[in-house]
Structure 1
């Protein structure tokens, strides 16, 4: 059974409606000062990850703000939010936070909800992880009664407010809201406090293939690059263009131009023209990709007939020639070339 230890308790006023778009101030409406016993538990220092004040509001009974009750909860009774938008946690940053917790204590509680025989995180997973890392048994927490949808929205809002999610994490979090709770783009925008265009763009990014999504996730490409690559429906060609973008540090505009050329029905891949050719940028992208793979300059020339042509490999020494032959599975005597 879940157990808690009460350190501060007053009765908060009932909310007249959800204000998720206004941030996590709806969960913790005023700055929280922990009791002496709470500070003695070596709980975590404020990480600045939760906005604790309602915008334009000062604490006081006249404006409806009320001090929340804070409980001390066993860290081993808390489970992560399965809809947490953050996919990775930087270990070095966690180590630093853990050290801060150990030396300074925690002045900002985590936010949880009851579930089964324990609790599920809504906000503050980094603090919870850091607290467990240094062996804390108790952590200050505000317990809230929220639905699955509200918990997912609030977890997303906390991270959006800090602006430290990568675009792919933001996109997948919004996709889960749309799919699990059947929300429209307009509804999502209203709930999480984003404009509708941003929501639509991010939801579109969630349709990226795994290879391109991975490049966005590790910031090899920008959100603009990812949107441009979605315009290339041929996955093999998309990956060639992705590789070109990363290697040559293409701007979004350069990539958009390459995608337009590649997908042009008059010059796109596999489509003959009156000159018997394909998009120049497509050919150049293929030359670059093949050349990088085998380690030399490659030149592709289309033939007069559809599907025909030649590919030339350049070498600049006997050793390079021998290496190319070995890659092709051919054993040669380079002395014969002298």
Structure 2
């Protein structure tokens, strides 16, 4: 990550008090009129704010932000955090925004989920009045700093800042302390076929694999290439070589210039394509030698072709 910059790019630490919340649970200061209804009056009377701006708040009064960049959570990681919270408490307050009837999480949904799992009734929070754009930016920054977003979620968050708030890529880069190139490369992933994007979300392929596949424009070829990468467990470097081969079909060495003979081999390729159901290339060499290349587009496709050859035998 690039060096820290001014503004929100300084990180979330600038939004929280310097003093970390104590691991010892705090007690909510109650009043005689306190009820379980989260009205503006009871919200204010049921919380005691300390000198650092922190207060304890009931989990029932807090709701996650449905528009936050992160959509997928690692359940095992949440459970580990819950176990830690049971032992040490919530060590960093959640950042929330007052929505009148409830408080919406700006940063800290993992802690909120883990606290619920740990059986807590209250968590420390810091309340801030923020614009919709600031909420999106802060949510994005928090997840990027913790490397919690998958590549598609990160790209979608950048796209939202551009589409909804008309931000420029260099502005976004400054906010999240990344280079403009990194932001641009991230957003390019959204040009991939939706199935390939889902493969990134499911961690079947990495962003490095996906960026290599981006050179292929045809969505169907993108998907079949991604499946080949996954099935054969190709490295990023091997994927780049594969894509280069796809984009630059191998030229036939010592190609016979006889048009009639060329037509015969092209006809043979078409006949074999009709049998296998996939693309077939006949690479001719000298002395009537050569090799046959048969493409397949998934593990099931490969098994089908193998069964086809075995049935012939």
CA distance in 2, matches of 1:35, 1:227: 43
User: How many pairs does the alignment contain?
Assistant: 256
* Separation in structure 1 between the aligned mates of residue 209 and residue 302 of structure 2, nearest angstrom: 26
Give the match's secondary structure for 2:171: helix
Aligned partner of 1:112 in structure 2 is 96
- Distance across 1 between alignment mates of 2:299 and 2:12: 52
Q: In structure 2, what is the equivalent of residue 149 of structure 1? A: 133
Q: 1:24 pairs with 12, 15, 18, which one?
A: 12
Q: State the match for 1:198 in structure 2.
A: 182
Task: From 107, 126, 138, give the equivalent of 2:110.
Answer: 126
Contact 1:262–1:282 (CA under 8 A) maintained in structure 2: no
Are 1:288 and 2:276 counterparts? no
- What is the RMSD of the two structures over their aligned residues, measured on CA atoms? 3.3
| 2:33 is equivalent to residue 38 of structure 1 | no
Give the equivalent residue in structure 2 for 1:164.
148
Check the 8 A contact 2:21/2:124 in 1, yes or no. Answer: no
Using the TM superposition, give the Cα deviation of residue 138 of structure 1 relative to its aligned residue in structure 2, in angstroms.
1.8
For residues 202-217 of structure 1, what are the structure 2 equivalents within 5 Å? 202-217=186-201
Correspondence 1:249-288 to 2 at 5 A: 249-264=233-248, 283=280, 287-288=295-296
Per-residue deviation at 1:262? 3.0
Deviation at 1:214, TM superposition (A): 1.4
- Aligned partners of 2:57 and 2:27: how far apart in 1? 14
- The answer to which structure has the higher helix fraction is 2
Which ranges in structure 2 are unaligned for 5 or more consecutive residues?
1-5, 30-50, 252-256, 270-277, 282-292
User: 1:222 — aligned with what?
Assistant: 206
8 Å CA contact 2:23, 2:90 repeated in 1: no
C-alpha distance in structure 2 between counterparts of 1:266 and 1:118, whole Å: 63
Q: What residue ranges of structure 1 are gaps of 5+ in the alignment?
A: 1-17, 42-66, 268-272, 299-311, 316-320, 325-336
Counterpart CA distance in 2 for 1:248 and 1:36 is: 51
The alignment's TM-score, normalised by the length of structure 2, stands at 0.71
Contact 2:93-2:124 within 8 A present in 1 as well:
yes
Return the match for 2:308 from 306, 313, 319.
313
Q: CA-to-partner distance for each residue in 1:63-84, whole Å, 9 max, x for gaps?
A: xxxx631112221121112232
* Alpha-carbon offset, residue 283 of structure 1: 4.4
- Measure the CA separation in 2 of the matches of 1:212 and 1:140: 40
**1:219-264 deviation per Cα after TM superposition (whole angstroms, max 9, x unaligned):** 2222121112122122222222112111222233333343344345
2:217 aligned residue: 233
SS in 1 for 2:295: helix
